[in-house]
Structure 1
Amino acid sequence: MSALLPSPPASAGDPLAPRGAGLALPAIVVATGQDAQRHFLEFFAATIRNPHTRRAYARGVADFLHWCAARGVHALPQIQPLHVAAWIEELGRTVSVPTVKQRLAGIRHLFDWLVRAQVVAQNPAVSVRGPAYSVRRGKTPVLDPAEARQLIDAIDISTPIGLRDRALIGLMVYSFARVGAALAMRVDDVFVQNRRLWVRLHEKGGKRHEMPCHHNLDDYLHAYIDGCDLAGERKSPLFRTIARGTGRLSQTPLPQASAYQMVRRRAAAAGIATAIGNHSFRATGITAYLKNGGTLERAAAMANHASTRTTQLYDRRSDEVTLDEVERVMI
């Protein structure tokens, strides 16, 4: 937690950006005083555990405070609902609606915290309405089963990197795992229970989710763990980078950005034109499961979704119906 200690006054920027041993705080926060600086940092350090949420909120807060400073606001108590509303209006011209809503949520949570800490008297964002947004169909690109099989079969498994990549893609397809949960796995998160191989996924909010493996995934994980001699390293990361110049696995966990690059590279090599990403496999697996008679409730449980409404965003069976209807326009 030492990296979250306040630094000397600095210009506005990312609230969590490193600056030597400390942090560069936005000028408005610095001008409000030492107490405001401490509570500002505590908001990010103490109230937000998910690193992705922390980074997203930090970017939004830094952008908003920089915007306010450029318009003559010199301290946090001077920020009014009109400032928040004008910023939201301007932001909506350049970024998507979900991004606007996420950044507004970050501002609201921050000022809620500052009100409780008595840094400011009121939350200027509480009365500001965000843009309307309704989602009935997910935007994640999805592969059909033939394309997914084509991608997996195109991977050369004669090397450790091929065994790793096939196991990771297979895990996301057959267990509906988020890439973050997959990459957080250790070797001992693959285990035998009731004579079947199971996987243990550490999901958002500290939830632990366990699932039996599909027989294909069972084969992929056994081949990977045995082929790379991982069985004796139970507490080590399951999916790792390749040590430079050796062609062998390192001890460094595979970063999410590297997994994305791997997926795009594998898709291109397999001749798949769909612009897929890590999340595509979650939607691909859920859609294939539902096509073959699975229920939405079971799919939600397997994907560890709190609500079937979330699972419905991954159900892309209607795409085929739409394509069939389009082809009826016979001109």
Structure 2
Amino acid sequence: MNWNIAIKDYQTFLKIERGLSINTINSYTNDLEKLSKFLSENEISISPIAIDETVIQQFIYDAAKKINARSQARLISGLKSFFEYLVFEDYRKTNPTDLIEAPKIGRKLPDTLSEEEIDALIGAIDLSHPQGERNRTILETMYSCGLRVSEVITLKISDLFFDEGFIRVLGKGNKERFVPIHTQAQKFIQSYINVIRIHEKPQKNHEDTLFLNRRGKGLTRQMIFMMINENATKINLKKKISPHTFRHSFATHLLKYGADLRAIQQMLGHESITTTEIYVHLDKSYLREVVETYHPRR
């Protein structure tokens, strides 16, 4: 088994068996391609079945010169996963990364926006622009529902269940969830559909896509990123933000006003409550309020 075949088989495993998204699969396999390139450049002829801890440590040491501790930890985690797959499929007896330790890194807390900053960002959108109403609706939807950028650009008209107050979201690994949507966001979406989108001509396979570009096709992640940062510049916002910042702000603001962590987990589509718990660390006042409200000595 050579590296190209092993990587392709691993990609199939991640897609079929684990149900991961294309972006996540690409992230996993990019590091394996870097390892394969390292072996080629250093004229090390060794297969995925025969490679040992020493060679992998050489690769990690070389990579560590170019990347930070967090990226090193992610690299090692990706390699561990790949060799676990080879062991699982009986290609190997042992995992050569078992004794390789990742660098210790602190937990990175996501950036968030205040409610005033959210309002200012959305208010900075030029509604006289042909795409102004669409862009405002996108940001309102992302903030109202805590959507990932990939989820908002793939949202379909048939995913809207406004009578029930929910939208259907296809998240990571094609996992489906239903998320409540605020009446204000519903009004923006209905207005966009009835006033703006009705005059656009969707391209083939995009007839059901909710948010269209000027050519009648779906939007890209980069389009959303650029739109957000253009508006951040308008209001002189100094924070480094991205579409994901709206998702983080959604969760943080819900928690601030007393939402249950399990409910937030379900709305965000997190498999583990541990992932959602990071938002508790963002607002320490929440912990103080819990003690003051519920402790018997209050």
Query: When the two structures are superposed, what TM-score results if normalisation uses the length of structure 2?
Result: 0.81
Corresponding residue SS for 2:197:
coil
In the alignment, the residues of structure 2 paired with residue 178 and residue 91 of structure 1 have an alpha-carbon distance, to the nearest angstrom, of 30
Out of 1, 14, 31, the position equivalent to 1:47 is 14
Shift of 1:78: 4.6
Instruction: Say whether the 8 Å CA contact 1:264–1:277 is kept in structure 2.
Output: yes
Out of 200, 217, 222, the position equivalent to 2:185 is 217
Aligned residue-pair number: 277
In the alignment, the residues of structure 1 paired with residue 26 and residue 103 of structure 2 have an alpha-carbon distance, to the nearest angstrom, of 22
Letter in 2 for 1:217: A
Shift of 1:273: 2.4
Instruction: Say whether the 8 Å CA contact 2:14–2:25 is kept in structure 1.
Output: no
Shift of 1:105: 2.9
Instruction: Say whether the 8 Å CA contact 1:211–1:302 is kept in structure 2.
Output: yes
Corresponding residue SS for 2:169:
strand
**Structure 1 partner of 2:295:** none
Letter in 1 for 2:56: V
In the alignment, the residues of structure 2 paired with residue 283 and residue 117 of structure 1 have an alpha-carbon distance, to the nearest angstrom, of 38
Instruction: Say whether the 8 Å CA contact 1:73–1:79 is kept in structure 2.
Output: no
Quick check: 1:144 aligned with 2:114? yes
**Structure 2: 5+ residue runs without aligned partners?**
288-298
TM-aligned CA distance change 1:319 to 1:152, over 3 Å: farther
In the alignment, the residues of structure 2 paired with residue 301 and residue 116 of structure 1 have an alpha-carbon distance, to the nearest angstrom, of 31
In the alignment, the residues of structure 1 paired with residue 91 and residue 270 of structure 2 have an alpha-carbon distance, to the nearest angstrom, of 37
Quick check: 1:127 aligned with 2:95? no
TM-aligned CA distance change 1:110 to 1:296, over 3 Å: closer
In the alignment, the residues of structure 2 paired with residue 101 and residue 209 of structure 1 have an alpha-carbon distance, to the nearest angstrom, of 30
In the alignment, the residues of structure 2 paired with residue 186 and residue 92 of structure 1 have an alpha-carbon distance, to the nearest angstrom, of 42
**Structure 2 partner of 1:85:** 57
Quick check: 1:206 aligned with 2:195? no
In the alignment, the residues of structure 1 paired with residue 24 and residue 127 of structure 2 have an alpha-carbon distance, to the nearest angstrom, of 36
Moved more, 215-224 or 145-154: 215-224
Shift of 1:277: 0.5
Letter in 2 for 1:85: Q
TM-aligned CA distance change 1:274 to 1:181, over 3 Å: same
Q: Over aligned residues, Cα RMSD in angstroms?
A: 2.9
TM-aligned CA distance change 1:109 to 1:317, over 3 Å: closer
Shift of 1:141: 2.2
In the alignment, the residues of structure 2 paired with residue 75 and residue 88 of structure 1 have an alpha-carbon distance, to the nearest angstrom, of 16
In the alignment, the residues of structure 2 paired with residue 66 and residue 192 of structure 1 have an alpha-carbon distance, to the nearest angstrom, of 51
Quick check: 1:286 aligned with 2:255? no
Corresponding residue SS for 2:119:
helix
TM-aligned CA distance change 1:292 to 1:116, over 3 Å: closer
Instruction: Say whether the 8 Å CA contact 2:53–2:96 is kept in structure 1.
Output: yes
Query: When the two structures are superposed, what TM-score results if normalisation uses the length of structure 1?
Result: 0.73
TM-aligned CA distance change 1:130 to 1:78, over 3 Å: same
TM-aligned CA distance change 1:166 to 1:142, over 3 Å: same
Shift of 1:159: 4.2
Q: Which of structures 1 and 2 has the larger relative contact order (alpha carbons within 8 angstroms, sep 6+)?
A: 2
Shift of 1:307: 3.2
Moved more, 95-104 or 278-287: 95-104
Alignment of 1:136-285 (within 5 A): 138=109, 140-194=110-164, 196=165, 198-230=166-198, 236-243=208-215, 250=216, 252-285=217-250
Report Cα offsets for 1:267-321 as digits up to 9, x if no partner: 2123322221111101111222222232323222222223333223235324999
Out of 4, 20, 38, the position equivalent to 1:67 is 38
More strand per residue: 1 or 2?
A: 1
Out of 9, 28, 49, the position equivalent to 1:57 is 28
**Structure 1: 5+ residue runs without aligned partners?**
1-31, 244-249, 322-331
In the alignment, the residues of structure 1 paired with residue 183 and residue 90 of structure 2 have an alpha-carbon distance, to the nearest angstrom, of 57
In the alignment, the residues of structure 1 paired with residue 193 and residue 118 of structure 2 have an alpha-carbon distance, to the nearest angstrom, of 22
